[in-house]
Amino acid sequence: MNLTLKVWRQRNPSEKGGFKTYKISGISADMSFLEMLDVLNEDLSDKGEDPVHFDHDCREGICGMCSLYINGQPHGPHQTTTCQLHMRSFKDGDTITIEPWRANAFPIVKDLVVDRSSFDRIIQSGGYVSVNTGGVPDANEIPIPKVIADESFDAATCIGCGACVAACKNASAMLFVSAKISQLALLPQGKVEKRERAEKMVAQMDKEGFGACTNTGACSAECPKEIKLSNIARMNREYFSASLSTENV
């Protein structure tokens, strides 16, 4: 198929960016979206033009490195990662607009590459159980009801790609933060620190400049791992109960 691509190009954070239009032909329906961009980049390189920079790594939908705002939707038309999006989702003659994630807390590095280290800093603020290596109890010493373990798992599948932020008009990171808070708050191992964790992670989220929740649910609707909106409710509950009580008596 033949396509027209409108791609955001920006040499570096300080320079002004803009859309550039490229025609591309010979795209097969079996290609992934990123393989289509590979073809574009080979074409550009052959012509001596700087290839389009975009983040990607595993191309299996799990590392969370690929991003891209495609025709106004994070990761494109399906609820999957861009690397798992295939060209059979598009038609011959289509025009496709490709932008980077747009959020203050995700500054642009180059072209379609953004800096998501704010997510790392949120995890560093409390997204863990404080145990050192060694000296832990036998794995089967703490039975966990299967439904609880499964619910915790559903939250834990978050890949940290940032689509939730990109989907939100307020660029809120609540779905990402609440997924980690939920995963750990549900499990007995994580309960010990759940209040402090909620307070610290929410504080860091605010500090990074993410917006407030709109309650529209766009984040969950666009999440490639289908992280549920109910996690945000759980996060709010943890956060408010933390502000009403203290663990340090």
- Applying the rule CB under 8 A, the residues between 204 and 243 that interact with another protein are none
For residues 133 and 248, which CB has a smaller minimum distance to another protein in the complex? 133
- Nearest alpha carbon to residue 179 among 243, 223, 146: 223
CB of 215 to another protein, least distance (A): 27
Who's near 124: CB < 8 A, 6+ residues apart? 204
Q: How far apart are the first and last CA of the chain?
A: 67
Sign of CA dihedral 221, 70, 172, 186: positive
Of 25, 144, 212, 247, the one binding another protein by CB under 8 A: 144
Angle at CA of residue 11, ends 83 and 166, nearest 5°: 45
Of 14, 133, 245, 248, the one binding another protein by CB under 8 A: 133
Fill in the DSSP letter of residue 28.
-
For residues 19 and 128, which CB has a smaller minimum distance to another protein in the complex? 128
| Three-state DSSP class for residue 1 | coil
For residues 63 and 96, which CB has a smaller minimum distance to another protein in the complex? 63
Q: Does 91 interact with another protein (rule: CB under 8 A)? A: no
The CA distance from 212 to 170, in Å, is 6
For residues 13 and 72, which CB has a smaller minimum distance to another protein in the complex? 13
Q: Does 1 interact with another protein (rule: CB under 8 A)? A: no
- Nearest alpha carbon to residue 98 among 222, 9, 192, 217: 9
Residue 4 pairs in a beta bridge with 23, 95
| Three-state DSSP class for residue 241 | helix
Of 5, 40, 175, 184, the one binding another protein by CB under 8 A: 184
Select from 92-100, 110-118, 213-221, 228-236 the region that touches another protein (CB under 8 A).
Answer: 110-118
For residues 63 and 229, which CB has a smaller minimum distance to another protein in the complex? 63
Q: Does 31 interact with another protein (rule: CB under 8 A)? A: yes
Q: Does 178 interact with another protein (rule: CB under 8 A)? A: no
Q: Does 199 interact with another protein (rule: CB under 8 A)? A: no
For residues 124 and 214, which CB has a smaller minimum distance to another protein in the complex? 124
Q: Nearest 5°: phi and psi at 103?
A: -165, 140
Residue pair 101/90 in contact (Cβ under 8 Å)? The answer is: no
- Applying the rule CB under 8 A, the residues between 43 and 62 that interact with another protein are 45-46, 48-51, 53, 55-62
Task: Count the residues of the shown chain that bind another protein, applying the rule CB under 8 A.
Answer: 77
